[in-house]
Chains A and B, each alone.
Chain A
Amino acid sequence: MKVGKIVNLLSGASFDRLQGAIDTSNLRQKVIANNIANADTPNFKRSDVSFESMLEQEMDRNSSSLIGNRTDSRHFYIGPNSGSMVSPQVTTDETTVYNNNLNNVDMDKEMSQLAQNQLKYNALIQQLNHDIKLKRIVLEGR
């Protein structure tokens, strides 16, 4: 096995995507923590992280693009692969008002998003560990 192939083991598309998703989850945690911290601040507007919908869009866009025709399974594959990396965006919701002091933090929503984000983060880490375990099996050959 060539060295290049071993290096490729750890930099596959799914690995990078997982990393992107974990980073996003991290960022979302910060944004939610900030929303909760400012729940009583007058004129504060809540922020959100958009990533999943953008990634989905990007993947949809890729799936409709050109795919190379292969007459042999050993041919190079041409077509959508990992796609360009989508980076998460922080958006601020300026249009709504939830409170008398022009604040729009809905505590119930923030707390549920916090729980959701935590579960998602744990799931992602578990998935990443699983991937690493599989690769370790490949490397050790047992």
Chain B
Amino acid sequence: MNISNSFNISASALTAQRLRMDVVSSNIANAETTRGRYVDGKFEPYRRKMVVMQPYQEKSFANVLQSELGEPDVGRGVKITQIKEDQAPFKQVYNPTHPDADSNGYVSMPNVDVLKEMVDMISATRAYESNVTALNASKSMFMKALEIGK
């Protein structure tokens, strides 16, 4: 039965959006982290992380078989291929009493913009919701198909 394929498509998107949510959480949690990584004997602040999404490319045996049988090729969902770091410069904040302040009294703060993260978070939530709707639609169709011939 190949309706399970549409379950897999929606499920892959749910996984991807949840991971995106995890990344947003990490960014917000570390919005003030000045010691994100130890590089060349000194601390570097946390860098904002972003997800890279791509349509799912890999073919399973069933996919190959289906396309060989001449069935139209639909997509196979979405996948997060990598988590990239934002290369934007760090924010410089004047705070001479901070333990990580440089000789001029400036502290490098993470390049996380909480506003941006909030927007990303809402976007991920809405995308998650719409995929749940699609999944429920597939499910109710599947349930309806079980009624054939009753």
Q: Which A residues are within 8 Å of any B CB, using their own CB?
A: 22, 25-27, 29-42, 44, 47, 49, 87-90, 107, 110-111, 114-115, 117-118, 121-122, 125, 128-129, 132
Contacts and interface: CB of A to CB of B under 8 A. Distances in A.
Interface of B: 2-3, 5-6, 9-10, 12-13, 16, 20, 53-55, 72-78, 123, 127, 130-131, 133-135, 137-138, 140-141, 144-145, 147-150
Classify the secondary structure of B's interface with A. helix
Given A27-B72, A29-B138, A129-B150, A40 B55 contact: no
Contact of A128 (B20, B78, B141, B148): B148
A107 B13 CA distance: 14
Given A34-B55, A87-B72, A125-B144, 8 more contacts: A26-B6, A29-B3, A33-B134, A37-B9, A38-B77, A41-B55, A110-B130, A122-B141
B9 A30 contact: yes
B72 A118 contact: no
B74 A31 contact: yes
A26 B2 contact: yes
B72 A90 contact: yes
Given A30-B9, A39-B127, A41-B54, A129 B147 contact: yes
B123 to A, nearest CB: 7
Contact of A129 (B73, B75, B76, B149): B149
A44 B16 CA distance: 15
